[in-house]
Structure 1
Amino acid sequence: MTWLKIAALNLAVGVTLGAFGAHGLKDMVGAYEIGIWQTATLYLFVHALGLLALGVLDAFGRHRVHLPAGLLQAGVLIFSGTLYAIALGAPKWLGMVTPIGGVLMILGWLCLAFILPSKSAK
């Protein structure tokens, strides 16, 4: 599966979960949990758009994007996934796992910025 497809799937999931948080979740949880849900959705959207940009770079053959894209995808799954779970009532200790996702997202962006040369630099 290409990074463009993965980004598109992330964006579709983001819209779905955002809508659920805005409409279906509001009567199930409190304001604190809604805030957690909104944070998870924001990070999902931002990084899905980042993956979309990486997918475009990959499609045009301008950069090697698999490592930074993989780090971003793993990071958003862990970061947003744990926040969604906590908002739905999972144990709060799961929040200790959330920063691992954040670190992976940071590493993905740093990898893109500093580690990977463009394909033309070979």
Structure 2
Amino acid sequence: MPGKAFWFLLAALYGASGVLLAAAGRHVFDLQENASMSLFYHAVFFQIMHAILLMGLAHQIDRSFWVRAACMAFSMGVLLFCGGLYILLYWGKTGLSWITPVGGSFLILGWINLVIYGARLLKR
């Protein structure tokens, strides 16, 4: 299982690419006020929010299996959920459209892993 440096680097990459995509969405892709822009910024928001979370979790990685499992789930979730939304916006519905709900499920799983970790901390 990757260590702190890996998760920190991945979080930084997700954060940096999220900010770059947000800027590109407004200035390069020239998205207008419509459903596409809303979907785009929804993907960017989820990417940046989970990048910040991963960065914090990187410092907790050695504490528990549940934290490591959460990091793995969040990283897969961001890649598939946000990536799926970006693909949908760029190419429309494709054979890859199934990755978006799978990515959302990974994000939910990551949060459930943290709930389990928190519950176990309360029992100590």
TM-score, normalization by structure 1: 0.81
Asked whether the equivalents of residues 33 and 88 of structure 1 are also in contact (C-alpha less than 8 Å), the reply is no
Whether 1:16 aligns to 2:30 is no
Alignment of 1:95-110 (within 5 A): 95-110=97-112
Alignment of 1:1-122 (within 5 A): 2-26=6-30, 31-58=34-61, 61-64=62-65, 65-91=67-93, 94-115=96-117
Q: For residue 111 of structure 2, what is the amino acid of its counterpart?
A: W
CA displacement at 1:31 relative to structure 2: 2.0
Percent identical pairs in the alignment equals 30
Q: Secondary structure at the match of 1:26?
A: coil
**Structure 2: 5+ residue runs without aligned partners?**
none
In 1, distance between residues paired with 2:59 and 2:12? Answer: 12
Deviations 1:27-62 (A, max 9, x none): 6x772211111110000011111101101223xx44
Deviations 1:52-80 (A, max 9, x none): 1101223xx44443211010010111110
Q: Give structure 1 regions of 4+ aligned residues with deviation exceeding 4 angstroms.
A: 92-96, 115-118
Q: For residue 22 of structure 2, what is the amino acid of its counterpart?
A: G
Provide the aligned length of Structure 1 versus Structure 2.
Answer: 116
Asked whether the equivalents of residues 26 and 34 of structure 1 are also in contact (C-alpha less than 8 Å), the reply is no
Q: For residue 104 of structure 2, what is the amino acid of its counterpart?
A: G
Task: Give the aligned CA root-mean-square deviation in angstroms.
Answer: 2.4
In 2, distance between residues paired with 1:89 and 1:110? Answer: 32
Asked whether the equivalents of residues 11 and 54 of structure 2 are also in contact (C-alpha less than 8 Å), the reply is yes
**Structure 1: 5+ residue runs without aligned partners?**
none
